Structure formats: C-alpha cells, structure tokens
Chains A and B, each alone.
Chain A
Amino acid sequence: MASRMKKEAPEIPAGSMADIAFLLLIFFLVTTTIASDKGILNFLPPKQDPNVPPPDIKVNERNIFTILINANDQLLVEGEYGTTESLDQDVKAFILNFGAPDEEGQALYNSLPASLQSLALRDPASSDDPSEAIVSIKTNRGTSYDIYLEVFDLVKKAYFDIYAARVNLSSEEYRALSAEMPGESDLQDKGKEGIPMAISIAEPDKQGGN
C-alpha cells in the first residue's frame, strides 16, 4: 500500500517557479530604498546661558579666515569676492601658513610631510599657527542650504586633505577610518594632532530671509 502511494506522489510543476520569483523580485526592487546614512558631521556649540555674557576671546584678525555668504549666494572670502572653485586650496594655505609659529608650532611644522611644508607661505597677514587658525562661515537667513553645505564641505575637505597627507592616506581612506578599530583610531589621532578642525559657524543675520 505504502509503495503504491509513493508511486502516485504528484510532482509539482516547476515551470512557473521563475515567474513567481520574478514577481517577488519586482516587488522588492520597487520597495527597496537603500538606506544611506552618509553626511557631513558637524558639532554645534553648547547653548549659551543668557545670564552669562559670551566670553570675550581675543583672537587676532589674521587668525580667522572669514567666509561670508549673502542671500544671493555670493561669497565674500577674506574681504574679497570669491567663488567656491579654489576655496579649499585657499583654506589649506591659510591653515598651513605658519606666519609666526611658537615652539610647538615649529615642531609641528617639522613633523609635516614635505608636500604640506611647501604650502607654508609664512605670510605675516595670514594665520600664525594651525592650532590658532579658525575658519569662520557666516551666512544670512536667506542663503540657500545648498551653497552653505558646499562651502562647509570644501572647508572640511581642506582639513581632511591635510590629515590624510600626514598619515599617507588618500582623503577618501582617511574619512573611512573608524574610531572603534584600535589601529585606525591611532591613525585618525595622528592625522589630527596639533591641527584642530576649528570651523566656526556664526548665527545667520536676519536681513534678506524669513
């Protein structure tokens, strides 16, 4: 009896398998959104206590690289009309100017690879030392987010290029370093050492926006 049952066991036709699989495939193709959690990281300053006046920090004008963006998305870089074209090079040259380095700055200069040392123009009107250099971005309420991010991106690029060159990586590889892997976080720290990423984002002013 049992053997007869086995003989009659019906076979499922597999011909339509491909069609079913295709239907499912198309369904998942359409609903898939590849999750992208990439972006540009920014650290906001701590909130200000209204009872405490903002600290009066004296910073020499020459140590600040100012980028102003108005409501028409025009750039004013260090007091002159600018474009986003060579901005990252300008920022790099500003950070690595070494106009008047102190002892630590000089030691830092000596530790840099030759490709970065050649950028040090020692212009007295530009930054004294990478640890003093600040890049300031100020926008207007009417400035578009797109151009703001483009400028911010370029300033970050300048820093990442420097960090990457110090540890002999490409900028791409440096950004992919993870702080959780022991070997990689050392490299990360080595790149950053002595050159803090000092990007100041000023509160946008009111005119021209909503």
Chain B
Amino acid sequence: MAKFKKKSKASTAISVASLPDIVFILLFFFMVTTVMREQDILVEQKLPQASQLQKLQKKTLISYIYLGNPKNVALYGTEPRIQANDALLNPADIVQWVNQERDLLPESERGLITISMKADKDVKMGPISDVQTELREADARRVLYAATKKID
C-alpha cells in the first residue's frame, strides 16, 4: 500500500522560463503580418462566399472599390453607396477615379489594372451593374469579385 503513496509526491510544476520567448515569437508574427488600415470603410462589408477563388499575383495592380449600405444611415441614407479611397462616390465619378488610380501605376502596367470589387452580400445587381458599366467606360475591364472561402 505504501507504494501508492510515494507516487503522489512527484512535482508537476511546468517551467515558465520560456514563456516570454513564446510570446515574443507570436508578437513578431503579428507585427509582421499586420497591415494598418489606412482608410475607414464607410459602407457595410459582409463579403459573399464562393469556392472558386483565385489569388492575384501582383498586389500593386489592385484598386479597391467598396459597395454596400452606408454604416451611417443618418448621414448617407439607406441606399447602397460606392466607396473608393476615403470617400463615397457617385457612379459618374468612377471613370475619373479609375484614371487617377491608373496614373499611379508604371506605364507598362497600366493596361493590367484590376479593380477588386468588395461588395456587400445584400447589395442588389442594380448598383453592381452600374459600377460595371462605368468600369467598362473607363476601360478597366479586369474585375475581381472579392469573396471569402466557402466552407462546405
């Protein structure tokens, strides 16, 4: 019987000396992956889900356009709005915006400009097609419908 009593004395303290190191590794990971948001998004963003996602190789070619119902209903109303850079746009301003974005790219890559359309799930096709018509007008014909991975 005495045999069993002896066992319970074994010490089980876990060494915490390496804890700071682990935390630092995590810290560096998050520091490196962090991208500070440089702009406030003024519209709702619940991206739809899809399975056939593709990733673009060159991030510099992408310009973002956001579509959705405004978060601030009192200020911007309830109808879906378009946001590019920091401000809400009217569909008629899109051509000008695309040209500005295109001018930021080096000359050889201007034809490859890709518009990432970050549209909210709840938006109807009406506003989407208005944007697409304007993008065709601006000759920015590569469009990426931003979506998240579907989990089946």
Contacts and interface: CB of A to CB of B under 8 A. Distances in A.
Interface of A: 14, 17-18, 21-22, 24-25, 28-29, 31-47, 139-146, 148-150, 152-153, 156-157, 160, 171, 175-176, 178-180, 203-204, 209-210
Interface residues of B, number: 53
B53 A40 contact: yes
A180 B129 contact: no
B55 A145 contact: no
Given A18-B20, A44-B136, A204 B26 contact: no
Given A43-B143, A46-B139, A140-B125, A32 B34 contact: yes
Interface of B: 19-20, 23-24, 26-27, 30-31, 33-37, 48, 50-57, 59, 62, 79, 114, 116-117, 119-126, 128-129, 132-133, 135-137, 139, 141-149
A43 B142 CA distance: 5
A43 to B, nearest CB: 6
A47 B57 contact: no
A140 B30 CA distance: 44
A150 B68 CA distance: 18
Contacts of A152: 145
Contacts of B132: 44
